[in-house]
Amino acid sequence: MSHIVTPDICDAHPEVQVLDPIFANVGGRETFCGPVRTIKCFEDNALLMQALAEPGNGCVLVVDGGGSLRCALLGDRLAEQALENGWGGVVLYGCVRDVDVLAEMEFGVQALGVHPRRGQCNGDGQRDVGVQFAGANMVPGQWLYADNNGIVIAATRLPLEA
């Protein structure tokens, strides 16, 4: 994987979108990138379970959880499954749980916060649709780059120095 430094990306590519600085880096991999795939759901992680059970092919799952701080949509078991299935990481506009385990996994996860209660599993939501949160518009096929400085979205894959 190329070396990801989001400030350098912003300097070299001022056209990128920068997500508002509201996310915490809770995964064991501090930098990650990949093509965007999306889920839009609210307090329901059934579509996350479905997506992360499929081959990720290095994609980053961007989840619009409506900004809910009332439950977690991702925990250690789903993150482990995502890692095993080749997902590049998850950015969650919502909460996660099992953060001590997530921090030990070689998997990128950024989220709004932490909550011990899990979400519902009713299957409500949408996959592979445009989502908007944290001051950015994201659609499947864009590229996401994340590190401890923040998260940026580019229209296409960017040439990064190794």
Instruction: Give residue 18's pLDDT.
Output: 98
Answer yes or no: is 98 a known binding residue: yes
Judged on CB neighbours under 10 Å (0-12, 13-18, 19+), 45 is: buried
Instruction: Give residue 3's pLDDT.
Output: 80
> Domains in the chain, ordered, with CATH?
6-154 (3.50.30.40)
**Structure-token match 């997902």, residue found:** 87
Answer yes or no: is 128 a known binding residue: no
The token pair at 143 is 């590229």
Cα distance between residue 162 and residue 156, in whole Å? 18
For the chain (162 residues), the mean pLDDT of every run of 10, in chain order, is 84 97 97 98 96 98 98 97 98 98 97 96 95 98 97 94 56
- Mark out the alpha helices in the chain (DSSP H runs): 6-12, 46-52, 76-84, 99-102
Answer yes or no: is 77 a known binding residue: yes
Answer yes or no: is 144 a known binding residue: no
Pairing of strands 126-127, 108-114: unpaired
Contact criterion met (CB below 8 Å) for 82 and 63:
no
Instruction: Give residue 2's pLDDT.
Output: 53
Instruction: Give residue 160's pLDDT.
Output: 78
Instruction: Give residue 1's pLDDT.
Output: 46
Instruction: Give residue 81's pLDDT.
Output: 97
Cα distance between residue 115 and residue 70, in whole Å? 7
Instruction: Give residue 30's pLDDT.
Output: 94
pTM: 0.95
Residue 11 identity: D
Instruction: Give residue 69's pLDDT.
Output: 97
Answer yes or no: is 118 a known binding residue: no
